[in-house]
């Protein structure tokens, strides 16, 4: 199938497919005599794998490692588990950071009168670079 069909089937844009190919996550597609890319069923499986990995928040580097592990039928599942566990730790750190940001912004919103006066603790905080009101 051509890149447009592969994009539609995989849920990725043609631009992302070309990008994944350019960075080596996806093998270079075979080309027709006129130079159009042609994707196989195996390419679609790889694209689905990449998309799902990205949807789970894995970095491109991690996706590359996961692809290597996925394609190595002799690999140990412990290697995959270790990579996924490391990602969980990173996600938990991001969640904590986001919760802190949310709490700070919530506090600022609660202290803003939200009236027609110009005084605004939200803008004061942004101006000062402070963490609190």
The total of other beta-carbon atoms located within 10 Å of residue 82's CB is 11
83-121 as b/e, with b when 16 or more CB fall inside 10 Å? eeeebeeeeeeeeeeeeeeeeeeeebeeebeeeeeeebb
Rounded Cα distance between 79 and 50, Å, is: 18
pLDDT, mean of residues 54-59: 97
More confident residue, 121 or 26: 26
Q: Please choose, from the candidates 8, 4, 10, 1, the residue with its C-alpha nearest in 3D space to the C-alpha of residue 40.
A: 1
The total of other beta-carbon atoms located within 10 Å of residue 66's CB is 22
Position 102 pLDDT exceeds 60: yes
pLDDT, mean of residues 60-70: 97
Q: What is the pLDDT of residues 72-99, one digit of tens each?
A: 999 999 999 999 999 999 999 999 999 9
Position 40 pLDDT exceeds 90: yes
Q: What is the pTM of this model?
A: 0.80
- The CATH code of the domain at 1-56 is 1.10.1660.10
Rounded Cα distance between 111 and 119, Å, is: 11
The total of other beta-carbon atoms located within 10 Å of residue 28's CB is 9
Rounded Cα distance between 51 and 63, Å, is: 9
Q: What is the pLDDT of residues 9-30, one digit of tens each?
A: 999 999 999 999 999 999 999 9
Domain ranges of the chain: 1-56, 76-133
pLDDT, mean of residues 115-125: 87
Give the 3-state secondary structure of residue 114.
coil
pLDDT at 131: 58
Position 117 pLDDT exceeds 70: yes
pLDDT at 14: 96
pLDDT at 121: 86
Q: CB-based burial of residue 17 (10 Å sphere; 0-12 exposed, 13-18 middle, 19+ buried)?
A: buried
């Amino acid at each position: 199938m051509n890149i447009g069909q592969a994009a539609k089937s995989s849920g990725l844009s043609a631009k992302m497919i070309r990008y994944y190919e350019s960075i080596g996550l996806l093998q270079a597609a075979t080309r027709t005599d006129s130079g159009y890319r042609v994707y196989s069923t195996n390419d679609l499986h790889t694209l689905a794998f990449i998309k799902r990995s990205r949807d789970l928040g894995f970095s491109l580097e991690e996706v590359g490692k996961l692809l290597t592990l996925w394609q190595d039928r002799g690999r140990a599942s412990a290697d995959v588990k270790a990579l996924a566990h490391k990602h969980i730790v990173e996600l938990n750190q991001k969640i904590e950071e986001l919760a802190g940001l949310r709490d700070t912004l919530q506090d600022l919103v609660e202290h803003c009168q939200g009236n027609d006066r110009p005084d605004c603790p939200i803008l004061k905080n942004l101006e000062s670079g402070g963490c609190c009101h």
